[in-house]
Amino acid sequence: MTSAEQVVHAQGLRKRFGQHTALDGLSLMIKQGQLFGLAGPNGAGKTTLIRTLCGLLRPDEGEAYLLGWRMPSARVRSQLGYMPQESAVYDDLSVLRNLEFFASLYGLRRHQIRARAEELLDLVDLRDRTRQRVGTLSGGMRRRVSLAISLLHRPRLAFLDEPTAGVDPKLRRTFWDYFNRLADSDVTLLVTTHLVEEALRCHLVGFLMAGRLLTQGTPDEILAQTATTNLDDAFIALQERGEAKS
Amino acid sequence: MTSLILTRNILQRILGDVRTLALIVVLPLFFILLYGSSFSGSYSDLPVFVVNEDNGLASVPTAELGRITLAVNLGAAFVEALDRDVLNVSLLDDPEAAQALVGGRAWAAVILPKSFSNAVVNEAVRAGGERRIDFEGDRLTLIPSEAADGPTATLIIDDSNPLLAQKLYQTLNAAFARVLESQQSSLTVGALLDVRRLYDGRIRMLDFTAPGIIGFAMTLITVMLTALSIVRERTGGTLTRILIAPVSAWQITLGYTLAFSAIAVFQTAELFLASTFLFGIQLAGNPGVVALIIVLFAIGLQGIGTLISTLSRNEAQAMQFVLFLVIPSIMLSGVFWPQETMPTAIRSLSYVIPLTYANSALRKVMLTGSGFAELASELSALAAIALVAVSLSVISMRRQGHTA
């Protein structure tokens, strides 16, 4: 076991799919209450990293600890929140029934579910759609339902895979404010994004490419390291360096 | 032209998916090979008991010498004439024991009484009129006797399977006909035989096939529904959410088992009610026994559905895998043609098919009113299949990404 303060601790993770190396000896450490932004181009390995950390995939090499437990472990599941990249909602159920079903898997009681559902539906701006079938919602709205489901049981550690994809700018800002508030209350979050500027809202940022973490640090550290003025330029510079190395 | 573009797109996608392509190529071959090798049309190994008490002698009146005794040994001739390619003949001494075994260990029993030869020869003379024979150097005329010549043969036949009963009757009939031929008799076999049918011929072909058809409908619906539902959950991502929640693989499997088994039981109840009230299909046994068979069968089937979902990347693949199960089920489980007509290798394949046991058990309870004791082997097999399928489902559920 590692120190409880180190909520995520991965060492030398390697994962291959046939000839393709999705994770290439990746190491990562995230402390309690940190909001960690994981950026990188498509196919960089962001989703594979999250699925491996959660125990949904077994690494070929290396090991990962979540909340002090070596993964895969059943003990941490009640404290994990996971928003997959696909919507992962039941289209034939209403928004509320979706929330109720997944919350009940975490042992929440009916009145707790109602209270939490109201709070999260306010956050994702779907309070007026509670009774609507999810299948009739737009893609962006379904992603918002998915986010609400992932946070309903008050996880101590949340993995959010592109939670702002397809979400309008105003709501995106609301989401990031909420993620920061969660982090302030000691919830640890790992959030992937392909909108690099969003990473400015994170305490720590990691840039993933070809299964390797090219760099990680605070946004200011990364700007200084790359001698750039914005994260977009910083990541382009890092990407070019990465490509040059490989 | 646009249609051709669409056609090309579909074919390219199919050709690019090795598993779907393999299923497309293999499935029709599998179907026809299975059909060709399972439906040989010839029966073999039908267990039949014969009790031959015949003393081999016939006492016949003659015009010249009064009664003479002929050593004709027709009982032995009958046993000799039995077609061993079709029948598995066991000789017994006790007529009552043989009779009791019909419907359990044998499809039929033939009892040849002490006076069998005597009765056959005299019946033959009565039917054909006077006949001249050579006897110890003399030329004698056999004349019809008026007195009764004792009982002729008794055939006890299990007619719970009309197809098999018909084949047995034909085969045994042929052996009797050979015996009669040896006596140059125009007598018909029917006149010689006292035929007792266990179910008095009240089991119609409709009754006989109904249990298998109900079982087949269950197989198709339950496996398909389970496999497609789980594949849809996986491709839609909801299964991932369930797998990552604090729920064990056992709990997930049990949840699916209860849901899909309940649906299967409901559908079967629907099938039973419709077949009973609309078509008068008989249910001779206890409905509670039927319910137990259905529950065990349903659990096994949904377990198989879960396994199929593990092997399938998408719903189209799952459908093809379902066909791989369903085709052998209908061909090899004895629903339409008896397993006794199948070559040994194919028959042994049928022993791993759940429908084989469900069909046999449902037939026994619906047609002959069997209880738990008579169904012990089928119920044990169904329970074992259910246990193995559910255990493998748990393992496959873990493989789908569980961390327990």
Whether residues B217 and B317 fall in one domain: yes
For residue A48, the chain B residues in CB contact (below 8 A) are none
Chain-chain contact of B240 with A88 (C-beta, under 8 angstroms): yes
d(CA A202, CA A199): 5
Q: Is residue B10 part of a domain?
A: no
**Whether residues B308 and B377 fall in one domain:** yes
CB atoms within 10 A of CB A18: 5
From B182, B197, B212, the end of a domain falls on: B197
Q: What is the mean pLDDT of residues A89-108?
A: 92
Looking at the DSSP bridge assignments, the partners of residue B138 are: B135
SS (HEC) of chain B: CHHHHHHHHHHHHHHHCHHHHHHHHHHHHHHHHHHHHHCCCCCCCEEEEEEECCCCEEEEEECCCEEEEEECCHHHHHHHHCCCCCEEEEEECCHHHHHHHECCCECEEEEECCCHHHHHHHHHHHHHCCEEEEECCEEEEECCCCCCCCCCEEEEECCCCHHHHHHHHHHHHHHHHHHHHHCCCCCCHHHHEEEEECCCCCCCHHHHHHHHHHHHHHHHHHHHHHHHHHHHHHHHCHHHHHHHCCCCHHHHHHHHHHHHHHHHHHHHHHHHHHHHHHHCCCCCCCHHHHHHHHHHHHHHHHHHHHHHHHHCCCHHHHHHHHHHHHHHHHHHCCCCCCHHHCCHHHHHHHCCCHHHHHHHHHHHHHHCCCCCCCCHHHHHHHHHHHHHHHHHHHHHHHHCCCCC
Candidate from A84, A91, A105 with C-beta closest to B245: A105
Query: What are the chain A neighbours of B238 within 8 Å (beta carbons)?
Result: 88-90
Sheet with A61-66: list strands edge to edge.
A20-31, A6-17, A61-66, A69-70
- Identity of residue A226: T
B283 shares its domain with B358: yes
Q: What is the pLDDT of residue A103?
A: 92
| d(CA A73, nearest CA chain B) in Å | 6
**Spans of all domains in chain A:** 6-87+157-245
For chain B, the domain total comes to 2
Q: Would you state the pLDDT for residue B404?
A: 34
Confirm whether B29 is domain-assigned. no
pLDDT score at B41: 64
Note the maximum CA span of chain A. Answer: 56
- Do A201 and A37 form a contact (C-beta atoms < 8 A)? yes
Chain A residues within 8 A of B244 when measuring between CB atoms: 54-56, 77, 80, 82
Residue A245 binned pLDDT confidence (cut-offs 50, 70, 90): low
* Nearest chain B Cα distance for residue A244, angstroms: 34
Domain boundary, last residue among B171, B197, B223: B197
Q: What is the pLDDT of residue B149?
A: 63
Same domain, B116 and B173: yes
Backbone angles phi, psi at A234, to 5 degrees: -60, -45
Backbone angles phi, psi at B142, to 5 degrees: -80, 135
Q: Model confidence over A38-59: pLDDT tens digits?
A: 988 888 899 999 999 988 888 9
Q: Is residue A229 within 8 Å of residue A223, measured between CB atoms?
A: yes
- Partners of residue A193 on adjacent β-strands: A39
Instruction: Report whether B228 contacts B319 (CB < 8 A).
Output: yes
Range(s) of the domain holding residue B100? 46-197
The two three-digit tokens of residue B326, written as one number: 């369903």
For A158, nearest residue in chain B (alpha carbons): B244
Residues B315 and B349 in one domain: yes
Tokens standing for B370? Answer: 């069997």
Supply the pLDDT for residue B403: 37
Interface list for chain B against chain A, based on CB atoms closer than 8 Å:
236-238, 240-248, 401, 403-404
Pair (B268, B395) in one structural domain: yes
Q: Is A76 exposed, middle or buried (0-12, 13-18, 19+ CB in 10 A)?
A: buried
Residues B263 and B170 in one domain: no
* Chain B residues touching residue A89 (CB < 8 angstroms): 236-238
Q: Is the CB of residue A156 less than 8 Å away from at least one CB of chain B? A: no
- B226 lies in the same domain as B157: no
Class of CATH domain A6-87+157-245? alpha beta
How many residues are there in chain B? 404
Q: Write out pLDDT tens, residues B318-377.
A: 988 898 888 888 888 888 777 777 777 788 888 899 999 999 999 999 988 888 888 999
Give the model confidence (pLDDT) of A176-187 as tens digits: 988 998 899 999
The C-alpha atoms of residue A31 and residue A49 are separated, in whole angstroms, by 17
Asked if B171 and B81 sit in the same domain, the reply is yes
Closest CA of chain B from A105, distance in Å: 6
Instruction: Supply the pTM of this predicted model.
Output: 0.78
- B353 domain residue, yes or no: yes
Contacts of B404 in chain A (CB under 8 A): 74
ipTM of this complex: 0.88
For residues A192 and A84, is the Cβ–Cβ distance under 8 A?
Answer: no
- By Cβ distance, the residue of B237, B240, B404 closest to A74 is B404
Question: Which among B332, B330, B46, B36 is positioned nearest to B164, based on CA atoms?
Answer: B46
One-letter amino acid of B325 = L
Please tell me whether residues B187 and B214 are part of one structural domain.
no
pLDDT reading at A135 higher than 80: yes
- B31 φ, ψ to 5°? -60, -50
B337 plus B213 within the same structural domain: yes
Final residue of a structural domain among B149, B177, B197: B197
CATH number for the domain that contains residue B135 = 3.40.1710
Provide, as residue numbers in chain B, all residues whose Cβ is less than 8 Å from the Cβ of A91. 236
pLDDT value, residue B120: 86
What pLDDT score does B402 carry?
39
A243: pLDDT strictly greater than 70: no
d(CA A144, CA A138): 10
CB neighbours of residue A102 within 10 Å = 24
Nearest to B241 among A57, A74, A88 (CB): A88
> What is the distance, to the nearest Å, from the Cα of residue B22 to the centroid of all Cα atoms in its chain?
32
Q: Is residue B41, in this structure, part of any structural domain at all?
A: no
- Judged against a pLDDT cut of 90, whether residue A96 lies above it is answered with yes
Binning pLDDT at 50, 70 and 90, where does residue A244 land?
low
pLDDT at B265: 87
Chain A, 96 to 115: residues with Cβ < 8 Å from chain B are: 102, 105-107
How many other β-carbons are positioned within 10 Å of the β-carbon of residue A94? 18
> Has residue A4 got a pLDDT over 60?
no
Is residue B8 domain-resident? no
- Within a domain: B59: yes
B208 and B233 inside one domain: yes
H helix or E strand, kind and range, residue A9: strand A6-17
pLDDT of B40: 63
Block mean pLDDT (10 aa), chain B, length 404:
82 82 83 77 84 91 88 91 91 86 85 90 82 84 76 86 86 88 74 84 85 91 92 90 89 89 88 88 88 93 90 86 87 80 81 93 90 92 95 83 42
pLDDT of residue A97: 93
Query: Do the beta carbons of residue A156 and residue B246 sit within 8 Å?
Result: no
